A and B are shown apart, each in its own frame.
Chain A
């Protein structure tokens, strides 16, 4: 913990004036998550080298994939100064949709398409309430999350637990050689998203909307459409995460995605992104999802239990967020 704060504060203190852009970009490119990962790997190398072996790393890679997609989802909306607290509900929803009779009679690819569409639909509802009715994103996504969880629990009370279609199981559990397919899916999505955010017009618009909504409105940018689109994309991405997790679990369950909202926000913060900041690419958040998963595993190995896990998790997020806040202050 000490190492993170001292080294990152040093980088904050050395924050250049906006004129020397390349150096600034270099410094902000190093997200807190990378420091956390370096620290964790160092810790393992000294105390439990076994944890760094390939098979175990691949297990963590697979475990991190659903969270990784949830982080991508949260990242999109947080960069637009919004938030999605309904991700957990979407995880439950995808598990429900992919295990019910809804997809049983259809060709196997529908088992993937239908949940993704459902997630996008939830994102669209969120987005419409937020952009059209100008309602607070916190309240709207809180409400849709509660509605989703209640609906799924209600609808699945009388149903016998179903099984996840084989195709999704293959994606969630399968491997290509030593590499888990779920992890590859996650990396592919993160890569595409990184390119979209960096190169394409949509990414630029998002950056403009997030960094200064007033200026974006005055410049005539389609601020509402950008916000709506990012919420829809976030819904679909979260559904993808839900599918990967359902594929791994293999059956329908109501015990899915309870901590995904918290962990996705943690991942985004650790990834060096805060509300409205368009800085940094996808590297930080992607590393953050992996680092968080590695952290939970290390805590499990050392028998820290639920309480130790929660304390460390909270402290890490708080430290990352405080550092980000101090960096922002230094920039002003």
Chain B
């Protein structure tokens, strides 16, 4: 049992080591990095990506992939910025997320469409809908939400609470509920899981719904942060969240990985961005560095499968 658990953890410790190294290097080299404001900024900037990446982790653990999270974020900011009452706005966002997750999940599990294709096409349709709801950036966000996102208690930004809630929520889901165990089981060996009585399709569908819900929360956070809606704001999060999960040592074939790796992966991406900002490197090079980091990360752990 012990060894099996270690196997499920996968390469998460590697990303933790990378994170510590990056932290040490940045702290040693830059006095500005060690300031409380900078660290606070870093956390606030990393929060939306972390929340999406946690949702992405759930889907990737089942062996899937969700490219529609980015558009879900854009939709969330659009809906929040376009509705008068914040409660109604949030309710609409959550409902939209559940429907998106259901569509993705049913397409993947029931109709056996490849996750990349299913989520890419649902993302395309959804982007069109977002552009109808909100053709250009704008709208207004309830001041309460803006404070809940940008405010701080003493030196600690409130975003830390969002981070703690999201990570604990994801951890509880994966390691303390039946669904979590089933997600691992389905990702590790779908046929065996089915033989053991796990409803594979329904588990996958719930994975996609939860992923969309995490993306919705990230979108709500982002709406508060930019205090308006933007139909394109989420675009980069689709790929970035996969990068964060992969950097965190979670295997794209499913079944191996977890919350802590994703936390490390996200913070690592944030640190790299922050560090390059401090050295004032051309921002275009950031995507080069992120890409190279990703290539290094995927080579750290061998796997059986060839290809996708």
Select one of A131, A142, A274, A322 contacting B107, CB under 8 A: A322
B307 and A143 contacting across the interface, CB-CB below 8 Å? no
By a CB distance below 8 angstroms, the chain B residues around A315 are: 121, 125
B291 and A146 contacting across the interface, CB-CB below 8 Å? yes
B305 nearest CB across to chain A (Å): 7
A322 to B117: give the CA distance in the assembly, Å: 10
A134 and B246 contacting across the interface, CB-CB below 8 Å? no
- Which single residue of chain A is at the shortest CB-CB distance from B114? A275
Instruction: Name the prevailing secondary structure of the B interface residues.
Output: helix
Select one of B118, B120, B124, B239 contacting A142, CB under 8 A: B239
Say whether B295 faces chain A, with CB atoms less than 8 Å apart: yes
Interface bits A311-332 vs B (CB < 8 Å: 1, else 0): 1111101100110111011000
By a CB distance below 8 angstroms, the chain A residues around B239 are: 142, 146
A139 and B298 contacting across the interface, CB-CB below 8 Å? yes
- Which single residue of chain B is at the shortest CB-CB distance from A268? B117
A82 to B252: give the CA distance in the assembly, Å: 13
Say whether A279 faces chain B, with CB atoms less than 8 Å apart: no
By a CB distance below 8 angstroms, the chain B residues around A275 are: 114, 308
B43 nearest CB across to chain A (Å): 24
Interface bits A255-290 vs B (CB < 8 Å: 1, else 0): 000000010011001000011000000000000000
Q: Which of A14-22, A108-116, A149-157, A236-244 contacts B (4 or more CB under 8 A)?
A: A149-157
- Which single residue of chain A is at the shortest CB-CB distance from B123? A314
CB pairs A–B below 8 angstroms (26 shown): A129-B298, A129-B299, A130-B306, A130-B307, A131-B306, A134-B302, A134-B303, A136-B298, A139-B246, A142-B294, A143-B295, A147-B287, A157-B282, A224-B306, A265-B117, A306-B128, A307-B130, A311-B129, A312-B128, A314-B123, A314-B126, A314-B127, A315-B121, A322-B111, A324-B113, A328-B112
Instruction: Known pairs A135-B298, A315-B125; list 9 more (Cβ under 8 Å).
Output: A129-B299, A137-B307, A137-B308, A145-B291, A157-B282, A213-B307, A306-B131, A311-B125, A321-B121
Say whether B81 faces chain A, with CB atoms less than 8 Å apart: no
A318 and B121 contacting across the interface, CB-CB below 8 Å? yes
Select one of A150, A223, A308 contacting B288, CB under 8 A: A150
By a CB distance below 8 angstroms, the chain B residues around A328 are: 112
A311 and B128 contacting across the interface, CB-CB below 8 Å? yes
B128 and A265 contacting across the interface, CB-CB below 8 Å? no
B79 nearest CB across to chain A (Å): 15
A325 and B111 contacting across the interface, CB-CB below 8 Å? yes
B307 and A227 contacting across the interface, CB-CB below 8 Å? yes
B271 nearest CB across to chain A (Å): 18
A308 to B287: give the CA distance in the assembly, Å: 31
Count of CB-CB pairs between chains A and B under 8 Å: 166
B126 nearest CB across to chain A (Å): 8
A226 nearest CB across to chain B (Å): 10
Max chain B CB contacts within 10 Å: which of A133, A213, A318, A326?
Answer: A318
- Which residues of A (157-182) have their CB < 8 Å from a CB of B? 157
Max chain A CB contacts within 10 Å: which of B124, B127, B304?
Answer: B124
Interface residues of B (CB under 8 A from A): 65, 107, 111-114, 116-118, 120-132, 135, 239, 242-243, 246, 252-253, 282, 284-288, 290-292, 294-295, 298-299, 302-308
A223 to B304: give the CA distance in the assembly, Å: 14
A147 and B292 contacting across the interface, CB-CB below 8 Å? yes
Instruction: Name the prevailing secondary structure of the A interface residues.
Output: helix
B286 and A150 contacting across the interface, CB-CB below 8 Å? yes
By a CB distance below 8 angstroms, the chain A residues around B305 are: 134
Say whether A67 faces chain B, with CB atoms less than 8 Å apart: no
B291 and A147 contacting across the interface, CB-CB below 8 Å? yes
Select one of A136, A227, A307 contacting B253, CB under 8 A: A136
B307 and A318 contacting across the interface, CB-CB below 8 Å? no
Say whether A138 faces chain B, with CB atoms less than 8 Å apart: yes
Known A134-B305, A150-B291, A317-B117; contact A140-B298, beta-carbon cutoff 8 A? yes
By a CB distance below 8 angstroms, the chain B residues around A293 are: none
Max chain A CB contacts within 10 Å: which of B123, B125, B243, B252?
Answer: B125
By a CB distance below 8 angstroms, the chain B residues around A310 are: 124-125, 127-128, 131
Select one of A150, A321, A326 contacting B285, CB under 8 A: A150
Say whether A309 faces chain B, with CB atoms less than 8 Å apart: yes
A154 and B282 contacting across the interface, CB-CB below 8 Å? yes
Select one of B128, B287, B306 contacting A213, CB under 8 A: B306
By a CB distance below 8 angstroms, the chain A residues around B243 are: 139, 142-143
Select one of A142, A153, A313 contacting B242, CB under 8 A: A142
By a CB distance below 8 angstroms, the chain A residues around B122 are: 314, 318
A133 and B287 contacting across the interface, CB-CB below 8 Å? no
B308 and A143 contacting across the interface, CB-CB below 8 Å? no
A143 to B121: give the CA distance in the assembly, Å: 21
Max chain B CB contacts within 10 Å: which of A143, A305, A310, A314?
Answer: A143
Say whether A83 faces chain B, with CB atoms less than 8 Å apart: yes
By a CB distance below 8 angstroms, the chain A residues around B65 are: 138
The 10 closest A-B pairs by CB, nearest first: A314-B124, A310-B128, A314-B125, A150-B287, A311-B128, A147-B291, A307-B131, A135-B298, A146-B291, A150-B288
A284 nearest CB across to chain B (Å): 16
By a CB distance below 8 angstroms, the chain B residues around A265 are: 116-117, 120
By a CB distance below 8 angstroms, the chain A residues around B284 are: 150-151, 153-154, 157
A168 nearest CB across to chain B (Å): 25
A301 nearest CB across to chain B (Å): 18
Known A134-B305, A310-B131; contact A144-B113, beta-carbon cutoff 8 A? no
A270 nearest CB across to chain B (Å): 11
By a CB distance below 8 angstroms, the chain B residues around A137 are: 307-308
